[in-house]
Amino acid sequence: MNEALILALVFAVLLFAGVPISFAIGSAALAALLLSLDPAAATTVIAQRMATGLDSFALLAIPFFILSGQMMNRGGIARRLIDLAKVIVGRFPGGLAYVNVLGSMLFGSISGSAVAAAAAIGGVMSPLMKREGYDRDFSAAVNISAAPIGLLIPPSNIMVVYSLASGGVSIAALFLAGYVPGLTLGLALMLVIAVMAKKHNFPVGEKIGAAAGFRIFLASLPSLFLVALVMGGIILGWFTPTEASAIAVAYTFVLSVLVYREIQWGELPRLLTDSAATTAIVLLLVGTSMGMSWVMSSANIPQAITSGLLALSDNPIVLLLIINLMLLVVGTFMDMTPAVLIFTPILLPVVQKFGMTPLQFGLVLIFNLCIGLCTPPVGSCLFVGCGVANTTIAKVWHPLIPFFLAMVFVLLLVTFWPPLSTALPKALGF
């Protein structure tokens, strides 16, 4: 257990000292190895594990989905999806709040990025809601809580990472498993809005005529077709999820550059550079986390934690609540990618002893960490949402609480009702 102590201590000290998390993970793994190996051998082992961890065909999906998300964010797709959401739900009391949620769901189903949804949807909706008389902090809370839906509704990079960490859970099955929890979360947030709209007498949105609504639908149809192209191709077996990510890039390029013409040719080098930088950050996290996972396995840390949790209680409900609470805390200070890579090998053996499948646990884990994106100190959606709404965390926290409670409620449904996440993949043969 000396390795476990050194690993945890070095990681915690470096993390709270402000060292980038990828370097904190790699340094902690190296420090633990130095207890049993000389410096040259320990460094070689970590380098080998990083290279081996990144040698995965499935990981090619990450840079492609990141690039397609960048083009979607800048290619006018968000605005067209917001217009479509106005047609569907904009005429109800509190209509623009519904539009914010539905817009995030639609954008998330295309981009797979929570931060991109918070920036793109929030950047458009915050001025609109302010102009219609909505409280600025309430509109920020709606945007912050709705943005993470994009990580549950595929395509989702974090599901690709979980597939790697779990030892090969089908990416296609994970994509399908995210639909119903993502839609359920969106409906739960809309229910909160409905209650608040009645209580605070929110304004009724503008009613859009049939002819104008049809034109808006036609304008958004090319964007929506990407969902059918990517997921339809995966389900029908035309291509793998990794190949689908490359197809998403090609289609988004045609749409944003050649059809909508909102991305100029001169902007492409900057887009490629930004995507490469983001990809490098993610894959460095993957590599160092795989090194740490190997060190933990060699020191039998997952087995020790499994035994410790099982010693606390033999009641699966109690243990699952403890695991959810722990993951909610983890999500408040750790980025999703390293959290998935570190905690999957630790907690997956525990939940499997109580009959939870790796597929269901993947949704539980990702859902917990999605909630963490909305909470301080490192909630990226929280910071982006406050930034685009020009407000502060202290002001937005109170209106965010009802949405936070709705998210926790849906999380418990995903945890204790397996069909919510597993029924759709089973029905389609995954």
383-430: pLDDT as tens digits: 778 887 888 878 888 889 999 999 999 999 999 999 999 999 999 887
12 vs 302, which has greater pLDDT? 12
**Within 10 A of 184 (CB to CB), how many other CB atoms are there?**
18
Q: Say which range, 70-84, 225-239, 408-422, has the weakest mean pLDDT.
A: 70-84
Contact at 8 Å (CB) between 128 and 168?
Answer: no
Q: What is the DSSP secondary-structure string of 114-168?
A: HHHHHHHHHHHHHHHHHHTT--HHHHHHHHHHHTTHHHHSSS-HHHHHHHHHTT-
Q: Which two three-digit tokens encode residue 114?
A: 């929570």
Give the integer Cα–Cα distance in Å for 125 and 424: 32
Query: Which residues neighbour 52 within 8 Å (Cβ) at sequence distance 6 or greater?
Result: 290
Model's pTM, two decimal places?
0.82
From the DSSP assignment, how many helices (H) and strands (E) are in the chain? 22, 0
Percent of the chain residues topping a pLDDT of 90: 14
Q: Which of 373, 369, 426, 419 is nearest to 165 (CA)?
A: 369
Confidence of residue 77 (pLDDT cuts 50, 70, 90): confident
Lowest mean pLDDT among 143-152, 177-186, 354-363, 410-419: 143-152
- The percent of residues in the chain predicted with pLDDT above 70, rounded, is 96
Taking Cα atoms as reference points, which of 319, 320, 325 lies closest to residue 371? 325
Q: How confident is the model at residue 1 (pLDDT cuts 50, 70, 90)?
A: low
- The pLDDT, as a whole number, for residue 117 is 73
User: Is residue 123 within 8 Å of residue 101, measured between CB atoms?
Assistant: no
Asked if pLDDT for residue 75 goes beyond 90, the answer is no
Chain centre to alpha carbon of residue 230: 18
Q: Residues 24-42: what's their mean pLDDT?
A: 85
Is the pLDDT at 364 greater than 90? The verdict is yes
Nearest of 363, 365, 393, 383 to residue 114 by alpha carbon: 383
Rounded distance, CA 343 to CA 162, Å?
Answer: 10
Q: Which residues pair with 204 in a beta bridge?
A: 93
Residue ranges of E strands in 353-401: none
Q: Name the band, by pLDDT with cuts 50, 70 and 90, for residue 207.
A: confident
How many alpha carbons fall within 13 Å on the CB side of residue 389? 30
What is the reported pLDDT for 183? 92
Residue 326 predicted with pLDDT over 70 = yes
Say whether pLDDT at 361 is over 90.
Answer: yes
By the 10 Å C-beta count (0-12 exposed, 13-18 middle, 19+ buried), 326 is classed as middle
In the chain the first and final C-alpha atoms are separated, in Å, by: 39
d(CA 64, CA 59): 10
Which 8-state DSSP code applies to residue 208? P
Between CA 320 and CA 412 the distance in angstroms is 9
**Which of 71-75, 136-140, 264-268, 381-385 is least confident?**
71-75
Identify whether the C-beta of residue 421 lies closer than 8 Å to the C-beta of residue 180: yes
Residue 197 has pLDDT above 90, yes or no: no
- Output 90 or 359, whichever has higher pLDDT: 359
Distances, alpha carbon 289 to alpha carbons 11, 166, 172, 242, in Å: 12, 13, 23, 21
